[in-house]
Amino acid sequence: MDSSLRERMHFIKSGKIDPPPIAKTLGINLEDVGEGTAVATMKVDSRFYNPMGTVHGGILTDLADLSVGVAAASLLKDRESFTTLELKINFLRPVFETTLRAEAKVVHKGKTIEVVETILKNSEGKDVARATATQIILASRP
């Protein structure tokens, strides 16, 4: 299917095409895609625990990364792509068995740089992490 990344995000959300393999592996679901926004969810349990008995930070980072990537892709022009220059995450509280929700939005869109923020919340609606990503827009993709 030859389409823009923006269109592919909508096809994934609607179930017309499969999500990326990492999303399938981790059980991340794309719930919403808007203009410069995205919402993704993931159920986490003891399979994802670290030695301290909480969800491993890398799992939260994967969810954050997917949500900021979808939000960034939603503003791309046809044949544009992007890659992450930087991803920073702050972990605010331990996470146990819950459904995580990542709410991402583009806070800056330039010709070559996008900055995207996401907030991860637990099923009680409490912030568990916040992340910021800097994306560089690539002129064209194969």
pLDDT in tens, 52-85: 999 999 999 999 999 999 999 999 988 888 999 9
**Structure token pair of residue 92:** 């605010």
Cα separation of 112 and 95, whole Å?
35
The structural domains of the chain, ordered by start, are 5-138 (3.10.129.10)
Among 30-34, 72-76, 128-132, 136-140, which is the least confidently predicted range?
136-140
Cα separation of 116 and 59, whole Å?
19
Q: Report the pLDDT averaged over residues 5-23.
A: 77
